[in-house]
Amino acid sequence: MVVHSERAIALTCPACQLVQGHEFSLFRLFEPLQLICSCGFSQGHFRKRRKGYELDVLDVNGNRVRMLFSKRELFHTDLINVRSPSSGQKLGYLGSPQVVRETIETDAHSFPEVPTDFSNPPVMRQILDILQDLAIESKIRCVCDRPMVGLDVYADRVELVCSHCASTVRISATTSEHVHSLARVGEIVMEPSYARHLEALKPLN
Ligand SMILES: [Zn+2]
Ligand SMILES: [Zn+2]
């Protein structure tokens, strides 16, 4: 039986929406593998547990997903399609580095291009860090009936967008003042945008 110790995991980053690959050796999983995207966003980690290997990450919409993979699955499968157990949404791939790399290449055209040349990279990194902390504590939410808040990252700002009601919150990310003001925010509650639309549709009598 051949054991492949080199493995790769590729996940779509909720911050920059790009697929980030991480290669690692199973023999080095005595400490958790931190899954940090090249945009600076820390998506979560992959680690050894008593009963298998645990993936604990944020999905594309910023929702926390925890999954367990058996030793057998991890050591002997060339390609695992990683999907969120609750929503069925595709998160990425786990498997042999070569197969994972080839699969990302094939997929590449289907993912949106985003600017990676941020106006102020250190500021953007801090803004994304703060947003990540808020997301982990469920402190970013929309008050519409089916909230699905995602993150759009631009060179100079981040936009929180609820894909259900289209409510949008724009957060500038170019100066340290933007970091300071966001750091003071304890919670981001988004107003459902259709409430305003309904208001506008009221008859003028
Ligand atoms: Zn990223
Ligand atoms: Zn909403």
Tens of pLDDT along the chain (205 residues) come to 455 689 999 999 988 888 999 999 887 888 899 999 988 899 999 999 988 999 999 998 888 999 999 988 888 899 999 998 888 888 999 999 999 998 888 776 544 444 567 899 889 888 988 988 888 788 999 998 888 888 888 889 999 988 888 899 999 999 999 999 999 999 999 998 765 555 445 555 4
Query: Are 105 and 128 found together in one domain?
Result: no
Domain end position, chosen among 44, 79, 110: 110
Q: What total number of domains does the chain contain?
A: 2
Ligand with minimal distance to 131 CA? 1
Please state, in angstroms and rounded to a whole number, the distance separating the CA atoms of residues 46 and 104.
19
Query: Are 104 and 159 found together in one domain?
Result: no
| Residue that has been written with the tokens 């995207």 in this structure | 37
| Helices 121-136/176-183 angle, 10° precision | 10
Query: Are 26 and 54 found together in one domain?
Result: yes
Asked, for residue 76, whether it belongs to a domain, the answer is yes
Phi-psi region of 11 (alpha: psi -120 to 50; beta: other; left: phi over 0): beta
Contact 43, 31 (CB under 8 A): no
User: Which domain range does residue 157 map to?
Assistant: 121-201
pTM above 0.75, yes or no: no
191 Cα to the center of ligand 2, angstroms:
7
Give, as residue ranges, everything with CB less than 5 Å from ion ligand 1: 13, 15-16, 37, 39, 41
127 Cα to the center of ligand 2, angstroms:
22
Contact 111, 18 (CB under 8 A): yes
Nearest Cα neighbor of 156 from 180, 132, 127 is 127
